[in-house]
Amino acid sequence: MLLIGLLLVALPLGSFLYLKAGVNYRLTSLSELEPLGSAEAFGLAESTEENPVVYLLYTTPSSLQDSVAITVEKVHEAFTHEPAVVFVGIGKSSFQIIEDLPQSQQIDRTDDKVEAFRKLTANSTFCENVPLEHQGILVDREGMVRRCYDLHSGPDVTRMVEHLTILVPPAPIEDMILEREKEY
């Protein structure tokens, strides 16, 4: 009798509470992704229905030992299977590792682009007191900047990866084809 009560009450209640916690976590994550402004100044390719793209913009680090370069490389490794994520460095790098990665682009570092980057990150409470060289911004499929991150901070980078997985469109589900031998 106790076992039946456990199966009929406790198990569904536990499942409901677990799923509710997941929904609340996702809603909290989405609330952190309020638009900060448009990323038009960077001349990024527009996202289309056939080719949806999410961008991570950062100012190109000046040395290979820079933890921002290491962070970008590690995050890039995590998303190599995902063509919808493109890493865009503002400025030429003095090393080839980031530039040679697939899904990686470099745009010229001009005063206009640096100022546009600075203005977008100034609107974010997440990048207060963070040097410009340590900042990265996430641009969604509509070309809107969603959040600024401190690429020098481990927890911030972890949160950025979580937000990337939310913004990346799900892969289309292919139809399952069953091939059977001909029945006689």
H helices present in 61-109, as ranges: 67-78
For residues 48-71, one letter each, b for 16 or more C-beta atoms within 10 angstroms of the residue's C-beta and e for the rest, the string is eeeeebbbbbbbbbeeeebebbeb
Q: State how many domains the chain has.
A: 1
What is the predicted pLDDT for the residue at 29? 86
Please give the pLDDT value at position 127. 77
**68, part of any domain:** yes
151: Cβ–Cβ under 8 A, 6 or more apart, which residues? 58, 67, 68, 71, 72, 134, 135, 136, 157, 160
* In-domain check, residue 173: no
Q: How far apart are CA 160 and CA 117, in angstroms?
A: 17
**CA 149 – CA 157 distance, rounded (Å):** 7
pTM of the model: 0.73
Do the domain assignments include residue 15? no
Please report the pLDDT score of residue 110 as a whole number.
76
What's the average pLDDT block by block, 10 residues per block, for the chain (184 residues)? Answer: 77 90 89 82 72 75 65 82 80 56 70 79 77 83 84 87 84 72 67
Instruction: Residue 75: give its domain's CATH number.
Output: 3.40.30
Taking the C-alpha atoms of residue 86 and residue 56, their distance in angstroms, rounded to an integer, is 6
**Any domain includes 163:** yes
Residue 10 belongs to a domain = no
Domain range for residue 39?
35-167
Residue 123 lies in a domain: yes
| Confidence at residue 18, expressed as pLDDT on a 0 to 100 scale | 94
Question: What per-residue confidence (pLDDT) applies to 20?
Answer: 94
Bridge partners of 139, per DSSP, are 55, 145
Let me know if residue 76 belongs to a domain.
yes
Domain assignment of residue 159, yes or no: yes
The pLDDT value recorded for residue 2 is 75
* d(C-alpha 102, C-alpha 77), whole Å: 10
